[in-house]
A and B are shown apart, each in its own frame.
Chain A
């Protein structure tokens, strides 16, 4: 853990994709056990931020630093980051034809724990997590994300998070593609995971998921950096007034 007790520390992060800078001086500190929401309009750099934090090779970090539990992870590969406790629930999870969920989850758990997990222990973990997310047992035998509906994909992401128990989970638009019942189930699942052992960075366009998961802090992302931070009530204010209320004056200021 870092000196100030933060699990995640991002300092002046700059990220570009194909030469175009998308994240432009992003700075954030997430203390242990807290849930921070990152909200922002389309094109504000939310997904770039999420992928860059996980180390996706297509995104280039041009400046800045990312630390997890006090360790600089900026130069690490995605698997090394995951092994240190980072997790990304993806907006568009990739299909892995022929790889069953159960085999995939075992391999992943073994990798993040650095040891073989006894079959019984693994099985129990899997069954508990599936029950929590109201998933049928047959789900474990399906191929990862192959032919999954949008809602099933999101559930599968949260299922993985629940089994791998990361120190910091970045959740990229987990609410998109979920109907109202699924949103409630998934949110309840996430709430059940909350505790001092896990911090969450919840990235979302809409406020609706925050009706179920109350964040400790809300940050507004615009043009690749945080332009305003506040408590849970900031989300409600954004829902009522839209993003223009914050971004309008900024644009006016810049063009002036």
Chain B
């Protein structure tokens, strides 16, 4: 999908360049207080209720301790200084409807990332966010005619205020956790997606998130509403430059899957290893609805992300496929949560993690069944693969079952790339490096095969790069 010159590869990470010529049109001073939040709202010319929502969220943020317990817990161990972050960096005036309208130095980055090319080849719509704002947004015309809305969140608020008011912050309330509160106070960009009843979007919509500015926080906010009987596959990708100072990415994603609808949300997260990635993603699924999270985490310094599904009505099904790869200095704290509220609901969580060169992965999962969620069925499977003795993997599964008539299965394995597997492949002439790659690719195959072909190829390539590149 992309071409990269060897000199652009930093420590095996090939997206680590930044655009030195880039000059933001507006930047709110570093630090976080009422004034900064009000300024962001002011710049966006928002309705009063959203401004109030932000300010209340800021109070919640300030009153909450750093997360522990279900969240990774160890975030205190990282030097995250909220006063040393830019919360709003506006890259350009307005937004491009064609790539030609996007400033050259920004467009070059997306060209390098292969976004316009992918759009031509296999996407129904594309959104591209650069620092705090979406710089390009486009959806296929025929889908627009069917009433499909695929906008950046700010435009969504302007053009569909009633819908936003009805759902925004209802699936992930600001008080959910400290970082959800932070996002609610300073959110900017992200996607607003509305799929009318019965409309099936046959090929994916994609959003791409790029951080360019050092010490920058990106706080996109995404809301997806799938009306009864509809279908959409939303894909997001993310990268950032490699800087010595850390950046923060803290998104909130809220999804409503109505009766008989199906939403698939795929993430290929490939932040540079100086990014804190602390994200809250949650969906509610109603009668016979299906929600699927495919969550691939390869980049970032630390990721804490547990996509969740609330199964609200009978027949709802939730599926979480989580893939994590932690190289040197990385900690991927990922997993998923499913909450069975109604009877006859089903869920599956499959987690695969790989640790290499001292990297650390954790699976953190919750299966909860409320009283009355009779005949709920859930299967959890998590497998960890350690590529060397320095690496680490932990499993923290939590079950809260308040209904007797349920079927819950949990299976967990931790394996080292086995001497016997390596010997077997080598005895067939395959060299050790290649043999290790085959074992790793085989290990992640159950998740990769769920991706559209283009993304499967991309993911395999990223894993290969991780396998080779962790010398840096």
Please tell me if the beta carbons of A112 and B428 are within 8 angstroms of each other in the complex: yes
Please tell me if the beta carbons of A107 and B439 are within 8 angstroms of each other in the complex: no
Task: Give residues in A with beta carbon < 8 Å to B.
Answer: 54-58, 77-79, 81-83, 87-88, 90, 93-94, 96-99, 103-104, 107-108, 111-112, 143, 160, 164
Please tell me if the beta carbons of B442 and A108 are within 8 angstroms of each other in the complex: no
Q: Return the contact of A160 from the options B428, B434, B439 (Cβ within 8 A).
A: B428
Q: Return the contact of B427 from the options A58, A82, A96, A99 (Cβ within 8 A).
A: A82
Distance A55 CA – B430 CA, assembled complex (angstroms):
14
Task: Give the residues in chain A near B21, CB-CB below 8 Å.
Answer: none
Q: Return the contact of A97 from the options B432, B435, B443 (Cβ within 8 A).
A: B443
Distance A96 CA – B445 CA, assembled complex (angstroms):
11
Task: Report, as a range, how many residues of chain B touch the other chain.
Answer: 20 to 34
Distance A206 CA – B426 CA, assembled complex (angstroms):
29
Please tell me if the beta carbons of A108 and B429 are within 8 angstroms of each other in the complex: yes
Looking at chain B's contact residues, is the secondary structure mostly helix, strand, loop, or mixed? helix
Distance A83 CA – B438 CA, assembled complex (angstroms):
18
Please tell me if the beta carbons of A58 and B429 are within 8 angstroms of each other in the complex: no
Task: Give the residues in chain B near A90, CB-CB below 8 Å.
Answer: 424, 427
Binary flags per residue of B412-450, CB closer than 8 Å to A gives 1, else 0: 000000111101111111111011001101111110000
Q: Return the contact of A111 from the options B420, B430, B439 (Cβ within 8 A).
A: B430
Please tell me if the beta carbons of B442 and A97 are within 8 angstroms of each other in the complex: yes
Distance A102 CA – B116 CA, assembled complex (angstroms):
35
Distance A55 CA – B426 CA, assembled complex (angstroms):
10
Q: Return the contact of B443 from the options A87, A98, A108 (Cβ within 8 A).
A: A98
A96 and B428 contact, Cβ closer than 8 Å, known pairs A57-B419, A57-B423: no
Please tell me if the beta carbons of B425 and A96 are within 8 angstroms of each other in the complex: yes
A79 and B439 contact, Cβ closer than 8 Å, known pairs A96-B424, A98-B446: no
Please tell me if the beta carbons of B442 and A99 are within 8 angstroms of each other in the complex: yes
Please tell me if the beta carbons of A88 and B429 are within 8 angstroms of each other in the complex: no
Please tell me if the beta carbons of A94 and B421 are within 8 angstroms of each other in the complex: yes
A94 and B424 contact, Cβ closer than 8 Å, known pairs A79-B432, A112-B429: yes
Distance A108 CA – B425 CA, assembled complex (angstroms):
8
Given A94-B424, A107-B430: 10 more A-B contacts, CB < 8 Å: A77-B432, A82-B429, A90-B424, A94-B420, A97-B445, A99-B439, A103-B438, A107-B428, A107-B434, A111-B430
Task: Give the residues in chain A near B435, CB-CB below 8 Å.
Answer: 79
Q: Return the contact of B431 from the options A87, A97, A103, A111 (Cβ within 8 A).
A: A111
Distance A81 CA – B426 CA, assembled complex (angstroms):
9
Task: Give the residues in chain B near A160, CB-CB below 8 Å.
Answer: 428
Task: Give the residues in chain A near B445, CB-CB below 8 Å.
Answer: 97-99
Please tell me if the beta carbons of B430 and A98 are within 8 angstroms of each other in the complex: no
Q: Taking the nearest CB of chain A, how far is it from the CB of B91, in angstroms?
A: 41
Q: Taking the nearest CB of chain A, how far is it from the CB of B405, in angstroms?
A: 32
Distance A57 CA – B424 CA, assembled complex (angstroms):
11
